[in-house]
Structure 1
Amino acid sequence: MKTLDFAIITPSYAPDFKRCQLLSWSIKEFVSPSVNHYIIVDRRDLPLFSQLEGPNTKILTVESLLPWWIQRIPFSKNGWLSLKTLPIRNWIIQQMVKIAVAQYIETDVLIFVDSDTTFVRPFNLQSLIRDGKVRLFKEPPYDIETNLNGHKTANHLLSIPNLNSPPFGYIGNIITWRRDNVLKLYKKLESISGKSWIETLASSWHLSEYVLYGVFVDHFLNQESGHYHDAEKISYEYWLHQPMSDEQLENFFAEIPSQHVAVMISSKAGISVEQYQSLLKGVSKANTALCK
């Protein structure tokens, strides 16, 4: 049985730099075996993020992953010009770039980790593999709008009928894909649309890269996908768009379940890294000591 290799991919941007810096530190501290971490940022943020570059930390630009016919609108924060489609929202570009990395990163398993996530316990990437199969996060059905829209778009792109029941969830902040499946997804999209896969996605108004991949492998590849399903989260999360008090932050870090190897405090919560960095590193240090 082949030993699979891994890469961690993190899209980020200047306002999240300190969070991404913490993530980068935690990967070196806790993740084994040693793994390349690819941070994807806009070209304008490259000078800032270049200070994180090292033997196992690579900085890629969004622009380097896109075709020549997609260019940022000058002086625009969130718009991209396309010579083949209508202008593209920055949100869609973010999803497309994650799918595009399979063309540039030739490792078996692509692990997407959000930049507001930090590992706090030792984490062996081989724990994501069972009998040669790679973990695919798949939650029970739920009908939140982002999930519904993601499924509608995926079903349209893949010519699958929409279901009346709530769809499964594939969205999270630590997500694993097989690179060979992404290459198959390219071909499937192109065979249906008659266009390049990236032009096909660029024409979408709503898009969830995680839903698109999950629907594709479950509907078309099924038992041949090389995945096993797992509904258990491996990070302890705070998603609310409101800050926590110092006491609430202390409780949050004190209550991290033992099965969770990472924490995620949404960058939209309005909590500065300085407010919780010492708590996070304290928990991390304690967990490191326990494992020695």
Structure 2
Amino acid sequence: MENLSRRQSNQDMASGPLLERKNEVPSLSVITPSYRPDLELCQELNRSLQKYGPPSLNHTIIVPAVDLEAFTGVGDVRVASGYLPKSFIPVPGNIWINLRRPFPPIRGWITQQVIKLEAAARSKASVALLVDSDMVFIRPFSVSTFYRNGQTRFYRAANAVHSGMQRHILWHRVARKLLGLPPSDQLPLHDYICWPMAWDPEVVRSMLRRVEEMTGMQWQSAIAAQLHFSEGILYGVYVDEVLGGAPYSEKTMLCVNYWDETPFDERAIEAFMSQASPSDIAVMISAKSRTPLEARRRALAAMEVIHTSIPSPG
């Protein structure tokens, strides 16, 4: 992507990213970075989107070039390098080097966040929905689940970040630095990380212009230079502290999550199912848990049965 500050006209910038777009026909795109080890998970995610998502839904799956053939036929598959500047060069060990700023090297999970931001910024949809491979949808949803009266749904868990969440606090510091905001460690802080994560592409584009204006460099280079970074915190801080908040904000994720890095057992499945609420449309069982596929499928099937008789929120 070229420099956003140059590309956007003054007239577009003046319109403001959170102005209501009531005359717009709303649309939704799903963005999923993935790779070969998560192929089976991504296939199940794609099937759930076809089963429960709106008919016009586009599912963009972004993978390394070496995995392109394996993912053929699973959504709209794109090559990851097409979402990165040409100055980003991969090296062994899931590390990238930015020729414009070689140090520090870029870790793979930072590169993945740059890819997500770039994909969302390119989106022409009303809502860009970020969904990882280890999620599955269990209930019908529509564009209106994430878009209402010209506004994209904004997740905010107010005052949820406390002193025991040091990584979140660090992500807030980095976000404020990138956005040119004064430092503030006053606790508690809001949490903005959720799955699925709904973004307004217009807001993403204006946010990345702000990063370029405040750092004086291409936004990809500015973000890649960080050792710690959260794309969700950056978006949330930008909306709340630069744009002044979002008219359509919610405190529920719409997803029940299993974050543990230990595999499911039958007891864990029962406890997990008890967390579900009527508003949940998706389930995330972390790939890092190394839960066997069959145990995962049993849990997901049970969740679907529970939710079949409950009206969907969208």
Q: Does TM, scored on the shorter chain, surpass 0.5?
A: yes
Post-superposition offset of 1:136: 0.8
1:197 corresponds to which residue? Answer: 219
Are residues 70 and 140 of structure 1, via their aligned partners in 2, closer, same or farther at CA, if it must alter by over 3 Å?
same
Moved over 4 A (4+): 285-291
Distance 1:120 1:104 in 2: 28
TM alignment of 1:109-258, pairs within 5 A: 109-141=127-159, 142-143=161-162, 144-163=165-184, 164-222=186-244, 227-250=247-270, 252-253=272-273, 256-258=276-278
2:107 corresponds to which residue? Answer: 89
Post-superposition offset of 1:62: 1.4
Distance 1:129 1:106 in 2: 14
Distance 1:287 1:216 in 2: 35
Post-superposition offset of 1:84: 0.8
What SS class does the counterpart of residue 158 from structure 2 fall into? Answer: coil
Q: Deviations over 1:4-44 (max 9, x none)?
A: 21101111122221111111010001112430001111122
What SS class does the counterpart of residue 277 from structure 1 fall into? Answer: helix
Structure 1 residues 12-21 or 253-262, which shifts more? 253-262
What SS class does the counterpart of residue 32 from structure 1 fall into? Answer: coil
Distance 2:291 2:143 in 1: 29
Q: Deviations over 1:92-121 (max 9, x none)?
A: 101111111134332221111121111111
TM alignment of 1:37-76, pairs within 5 A: 37-52=59-74, 57-73=75-91, 76=92
For normalisation by structure 2, the TM-score amounts to 0.84
**Conserved 8 A contact 2:264-2:295:** no
Distance 1:268 1:285 in 2: 25
Post-superposition offset of 1:276: 2.3
For normalisation by structure 1, the TM-score amounts to 0.90
What SS class does the counterpart of residue 89 from structure 2 fall into? Answer: strand
Distance 1:285 1:275 in 2: 16
Distance 1:290 1:83 in 2: 53
Distance 1:45 1:186 in 2: 29
1:268 aligns with 2:284: no
Distance 1:155 1:40 in 2: 28
Q: Deviations over 1:57-112 (max 9, x none)?
A: 21112111011110101xx1321111111221111101111111134332221111
1:105 aligns with 2:140: no
**Conserved 8 A contact 1:123-1:261:** yes
**Conserved 8 A contact 1:253-1:280:** no
Are residues 147 and 133 of structure 1, via their aligned partners in 2, closer, same or farther at CA, if it must alter by over 3 Å?
same
One-letter identity of the residue aligned with 1:50: T
| Percent of residue pairs identical | 30
**Conserved 8 A contact 1:33-1:124:** no
**Conserved 8 A contact 2:285-2:296:** no
**Conserved 8 A contact 1:130-1:228:** yes
Post-superposition offset of 1:253: 3.7
1:79 aligns with 2:99: no
One-letter identity of the residue aligned with 1:233: M
How big is the alpha-carbon RMSD for the aligned residues of Structure 1 and Structure 2? 2.1
Distance 2:303 2:191 in 1: 30
Q: Deviations over 1:130-172 (max 9, x none)?
A: 3221111111221312211211100111121222223211111
**Conserved 8 A contact 2:256-2:275:** no
Stretches of structure 2 that go unaligned for 5 or more consecutive residues are: 1-21
Are residues 97 and 126 of structure 1, via their aligned partners in 2, closer, same or farther at CA, if it must alter by over 3 Å?
same
Distance 1:104 1:50 in 2: 22
Stretches of structure 1 that go unaligned for 5 or more consecutive residues are: none
